Amino acid sequence: MDQRTLSKTDENALAPTTQDEDIPNKPVTFWHRAYRSMGFRKGYNFSLFIIFAGAIVGFSLARLSYLNISGSASSSYASGAAPGEWYWYSRGIYRIGITIHLATILPAGLLMVWQFIPIIRHKFLIFHRINGYLVISLVIISNVGALMIARRAFGGSLETQAGVGVLVIISTTSIALAYYNIKRLQIDQHRAWMLRAMFYLGTIVTLRLIMILSALISSKASYYETTMTCGELLSILDTNEKVNSSYPQCGQPGSTADTRAIVQAKFGTQPEQIGASLRMSFGMALWLALFLHAAGVEIYLHLTPRENNMLRQVSYEKQMEKGLSPAGSAGLTSDRWGDAEPWKPMKEGTEA
């Protein structure tokens, strides 16, 4: 993800202006200096960065203890996973998948936010490149792990498997397109596709909020139920006596660990019912969160055309220097690959 240094015009925008320094309101002055010192040109960009980057970093930090996959500590994944999940993830291909996924996506979440701090992109380009390659590698590997566990993730329903598959496809495709565009010095498209990729990956944070909220509401609104295997119930309730007393079908002659029992989905005091309510909500929450993030990033990109035009001009200048053709559209642009009007560079002295 080796984004090139921007033009001198853009670099000058990184420094605080005298107008900022002359603002009499001290809180406003502090705010302006804070986001200018990090390279942000607009306050709303800085605000959005704090919200979304903070959510990703906070979520990743909160889940770092999950790297202790099978430990007995209360903070380990085995102890903190939703009821019934560890039954599948404790062994076989699913154990490998969850280990790969957690060991890569959590570090990626902590590293990716640095890619969106402008001052780092402009002043510490080597770090930006190395960190970018590292983030790309971690995300691709984590997607492999996600596909490995999709069959059992919160019950592994078809909508869950489809949602995980779509998320893997669009995030991987976005990263690939961002990588191609930066190699062609198409910085505006690199920015757009990396933003899309990171917004898609951030779906997991919003998903958790929607899932818990949905589980709480559905528990109060009406009666929902799903099924769990007797093996899952035993892993949750610990003893056969508890399982057989609550779910007699698991104690019937001929029943096995794969025999299914109906479990009420209720976010209350019974752990198996909590697990049932979460797995019922997971698929719906995944698709809803994915829609919100996909729509949100497109709205943001359409509301920041000046940023896009400025980076298009920078791309033109860099492509001219490297002899890439057509300059300004050497990457994946709509005027080159679609029916958009041919892009024309700005004249000197004009503003994007």
Identify the bridge partners of residue 260 per DSSP, sorted by sequence position. 229
> What pLDDT is attached to residue 34?
78
DSSP 64: G
- Return the CA Rg of the chain: 25
- Give the type of residue at 233: L
Average pLDDT over residues 126-131: 94
CB neighbours of 184 closer than 8 A, spacing ≥ 6? Answer: 319, 324, 330, 331, 332
Pairing relation of β-strands 260-264 and 225-229?
Answer: antiparallel
Containing 263, the helix (H) or strand (E) segment is strand 260-264
Dist CA 138 CA 101 (whole Å)? 9
Average pLDDT over residues 172-198: 96
Find out whether 316 and 164 touch, Cβ atoms under 8 Å. no
Average pLDDT over residues 110-115: 94
Dist CA 265 CA 205 (whole Å)? 22
Is residue 85 predicted with pLDDT exceeding 70?
yes
Cα diameter, the chain: 85
> What pLDDT is attached to residue 38?
80
Dist CA 109 CA 138 (whole Å)? 9
In which band, very low, low, confident or very high, does the pLDDT at 349 lie, cut at 50, 70 and 90?
Answer: very low
- Give the type of residue at 337: W
Dist CA 211 CA 275 (whole Å)? 11
Find out whether 341 and 335 touch, Cβ atoms under 8 Å. yes
Containing 246, the helix (H) or strand (E) segment is helix 240-246
**Nearest partner of 313 among 261, 284, 349, judged by Cα:** 349
CB atoms near residue 186 (< 10 Å): 29
pLDDT digits (tens, 9 = 90+) for 231-249: 999 999 999 999 999 999 9
In which band, very low, low, confident or very high, does the pLDDT at 350 lie, cut at 50, 70 and 90?
Answer: low
Average pLDDT over residues 227-233: 95
Q: How far apart are the first and last CA of the chain?
A: 24
Cα–Cα separations (whole angstroms), residue 93 to 76, 148, 152:
19, 7, 11
Find out whether 202 and 293 touch, Cβ atoms under 8 Å. yes
Is residue 129 predicted with pLDDT exceeding 90?
yes
Note the Cα 108 to chain centre separation in Å. 10
pLDDT digits (tens, 9 = 90+) for 137-153: 999 999 999 999 999 99
> Which residue has better confidence, 344 or 1?
344
Q: Specify the residue for token string 């025999």.
A: 259
Dist CA 186 CA 127 (whole Å)? 20
In which band, very low, low, confident or very high, does the pLDDT at 1 lie, cut at 50, 70 and 90?
Answer: low
Is residue 30 predicted with pLDDT exceeding 80?
no
Dist CA 145 CA 89 (whole Å)? 12
Question: What is the average pLDDT value for the chain, to the nearest integer?
Answer: 89
Average pLDDT over residues 335-352: 77
Q: Is 239 exposed, middle or buried (0-12, 13-18, 19+ CB in 10 A)?
A: exposed
**Nearest partner of 331 among 136, 170, 189, 193, judged by Cα:** 189
Containing 123, the helix (H) or strand (E) segment is helix 118-123
DSSP 177-228: HHHHHHHTT-HHHHHHHHHHHHHHHTHHHHHHHHHHHHHHHHHHHS--EEEE
Find out whether 168 and 97 touch, Cβ atoms under 8 Å. no
Collapsed DSSP state (helix, strand, coil) of residue 320? helix
Which of 41-50, 161-170, 212-221, 340-349 is the least confident region? 340-349
> What pLDDT is attached to residue 352?
46
Is residue 256 predicted with pLDDT exceeding 70?
yes
Is residue 203 predicted with pLDDT exceeding 90?
yes
